[in-house]
Amino acid sequence: MTPGTLTPPDGVTGTLDETRRWMRPAMQEAVERLHPVPRLISGFTLGWLTVGGSPRTGAGGKGVRPALAGLAAVAAGGRAEDAAPGAAAVEFVHAFSLVHDDIMDGDELRRHRATAWKAYGVGAAVLTGDGLLALALDTLARTGNADAVLRLTSVLVELVNGQAADTAFESRPWSGPDAVTVEEYRAMAVGKTASLLGCAASIGWLLGGGDREGSEKMDRMGRHLGLAFQAVDDLLGIWGETEVTGKAVYNDLRQGKKSLPVVAALRAGDEELVRLLEARPADGLEARRAALLIERAGGRSYTEELAERETAAALALIDEVGGRAGEELAALARYIVARRA
């Protein structure tokens, strides 16, 4: 599945806009409880403020997780707004993970702006990440929905384990019996990325009045979608356009990331590719050569096919929902994986 257009279709645009309308007040109210320093950095991280604290126009993130929560609430028989505490909690967790990930990875840019640690310093960014995590738990706990809280806390453990696995991959060799396998990568991606999309959908269902069985189905749907999302993210990390992604072309290769296209390609045993990756391509020619070898070894096609399979699995579960909510969920699912940034 090659990444498609950046602009979502009209129906999805309406869903995302409506989600921001009912979600942002809940998030702003929660952020106001923080000390002025993490409050400022949280507003910057969430896309609401400039570095200096002035109001900023623009949507911030894509907002697909909160939109999933809202549509799942509607599918369960409630209103999209019923999912606001859960959507806010999931978005806070996502923002927390990005703040800490950027510190660990040394990334200086996100969404065409400086990352939190680059703008405000490591210590302040770490504290802000902690604050966002605290707000996530507090916001959801105030609903009194024990099943939703348990869903979020269990996913937090998965997120930590997924990030730990991803970090451990960095010290693993590029080839040989100790090299990262596709199966290991998939397990990591489920924990680090897919679990949170599943969490958003399942919590939305619960807050919309749905039962545990339905929340499990929503969780499976979101996890399939999350794996497809991560696969597309990995494609963009190598072949994405700088003017769209905000990152340098071949960025993941320069950083030595063992992303899915790379892990899949290395199964072919190409010694030249291994040498290039071990040396971390320092210039454009080396990075371009590594990307070409990855594509020739089938890494790109494998990742595209996985995105297609996981999207199809998510859509099959959405089909069981039916009705207008099912149609909107399907449209959102297709948008999530047909993107360029």
pLDDT tens digits, one per residue of 203-225:
999 999 999 999 999 999 999 99
pLDDT value of position 283: 75
pLDDT value of position 5: 39
Q: What is the pLDDT of residues 315-329, one digit of tens each?
A: 999 999 988 889 999
Inside any domain, residue 316: yes
- What's the rounded mean pLDDT across residues 73-95? 97
pLDDT value of position 13: 86
pLDDT value of position 118: 97
Alpha helix positions (H), the chain: 10-31, 36-45, 64-75, 84-105, 116-120, 122-141, 146-169, 182-189, 195-207, 212-239, 242-245, 251-254, 260-266, 271-279, 284-296, 299-319, 323-337
% of the chain exceeding 90 in pLDDT = 81
Inside any domain, residue 5: no
User: Does pLDDT of 340 surpass 80?
Assistant: no
CATH number at residue 290: 1.10.600.10
Report how many domains make up the chain: 1
Cα distances (angstroms) measured from residue 281 to each of 32, 45, 226, 332: 44, 30, 29, 36
Inside any domain, residue 15: yes
Q: What is the pLDDT of residues 265-290, one digit of tens each?
A: 999 999 999 999 999 887 789 999 99
Q: What confidence category does residue 185 fall into, taking pLDDT thresholds of 50, 70 and 90?
A: very high
Inside any domain, residue 14: yes
194 closest CA partner among 228, 163, 164, 236: 228
Inside any domain, residue 261: yes
- What's the rounded mean pLDDT across residues 102-123? 92
Entry pTM = 0.92
pLDDT value of position 139: 97
Inside any domain, residue 61: yes
Q: How many CB atoms lie under 10 A from the CB of residue 68?
A: 34
pLDDT value of position 110: 85
Question: What distance in Å separates the CA atoms of residue 59 and residue 18, rounded to the nearest whole number?
Answer: 12
State the average pLDDT for the chain.
92
Inside any domain, residue 4: no
User: Does pLDDT of 339 surpass 80?
Assistant: no
Q: What is the pLDDT of residues 4-56, one digit of tens each?
A: 434 566 679 889 999 999 999 999 999 999 999 999 999 999 999 999 999 99
Q: What is the pLDDT of residues 120-168, one digit of tens each?
A: 999 999 999 999 999 999 999 999 999 999 999 999 999 999 999 999 9
Inside any domain, residue 50: yes
Q: What confidence category does residue 3 fall into, taking pLDDT thresholds of 50, 70 and 90?
A: very low
Residue 259, classed as helix, strand or coil, is coil
The residue segments making up the domain with residue 90 are 10-337
If one compares 226 and 248, the residue with the highest pLDDT of the two is: 226
